[in-house]
Amino acid sequence: MKDKEAPPALDELPGELLIWVLIISELLVFGVGLAAFMAVRLTDPAGFAEAQNELHRTAAALNTIVLVSSGYLAARALRLRGASRRGAARLALVAAAALGVVFLVIKGAEYADKAAKGITYETHPFFTFYYLLTGFHAAHVVAGILILLLIAWRDEPRNIEAGAAFWHLVDLIWVLLFPVIYLLA
């Protein structure tokens, strides 16, 4: 009996199917979190706006630029590896990881500022969501940095493709999280 062929739609997807399952799952998790944040905001819009004013919007916008630049380097690494420029690809991946560290340093400074002001996750429901969503995202950044370094070492093209896709997921989540948490007052 002939093996059942994969549907053409799945063949269209670039890279491994499993990484797309992960991307969709993570988008759903963060999507539900962000929708819940906006729904809870309905109970106290003024309180949410006041709490949001404690955040440093410009630093968060700077972090967006840091992360999309890091994503660019990861995407560039895949192309460089495809062109058999292994050294340049590895350098791009390490630079992408370094920008990930810059993101965490800025995020850490933001958390330290909140701690200095005595703001915790119990201060207001806004900060419960803020710490939960940005903290979970930061955990993804940490994992992403480790993956970038791992694929810089084990630099098979399919490893780079999967690792870079995870990093773009981290990027994708941030560009949705940033406006909702920091800007929609």
Partner 1 sequence: MKPDTLDRTWIGLVALSGCSAIIAEVLGIGLDGRLTGAAILILALMKTRLILAHYLGLSAAASWRRGFNLSLALFCLLLLGLYILPAVIS
**Closest separation between CB of residue 68 and partner 1, Å?**
4
**Closest separation between CB of residue 35 and partner 1, Å?**
6
x/- map, 8-47, partner 1, by CB under 8 A: -x--xxxx-------x-------x--xx--xx-xx--x--
Longest CA span, the chain: 69
Task: Single out the residue of 65, 77, 64 nearest to residue 153, CA to CA.
Answer: 77
- The alpha carbon of 92 is separated from its chain's Cα centroid by a whole number of angstroms, namely 18
What is the rounded (10 degree) CA torsion for 23, 146, 171, 121?
90
Q: Cβ closer to partner 1: 47 or 120?
A: 47
Determine if 61 is a binding residue for partner 1 (CB under 8 A). yes
Task: Report how far residue 94's alpha carbon sits from residue 76's, in angstroms, rounded to the nearest whole number.
Answer: 12
Structure tokens at 76: 């560039």
Q: Cβ closer to partner 1: 120 or 171?
A: 171
Task: Single out the residue of 74, 70, 77, 132 nearest to residue 105, CA to CA.
Answer: 70
Q: Segment 140-179, which members bind partner 1 (CB under 8 A)?
A: 164-165, 168, 171-172, 175-176, 178-179
**Closest separation between CB of residue 9 and partner 1, Å?**
6
DSSP-derived 3-state class of residue 130? helix
**Closest separation between CB of residue 6 and partner 1, Å?**
14
**Angle ∠(74,76,80) on CA atoms, nearest 5:** 120
Determine if 107 is a binding residue for partner 1 (CB under 8 A). no
Q: Cβ closer to partner 1: 29 or 120?
A: 29
Task: Report how far residue 108's alpha carbon sits from residue 16's, in angstroms, rounded to the nearest whole number.
Answer: 33
Q: Cβ closer to partner 1: 37 or 131?
A: 37
Residues that bind partner 1 (CB under 8 A): 9, 12-15, 23, 31, 34-35, 38-39, 41-42, 45, 57-58, 60-62, 64-65, 68-69, 71-72, 74-76, 79, 164-165, 168, 171-172, 175-176, 178-180, 182-185
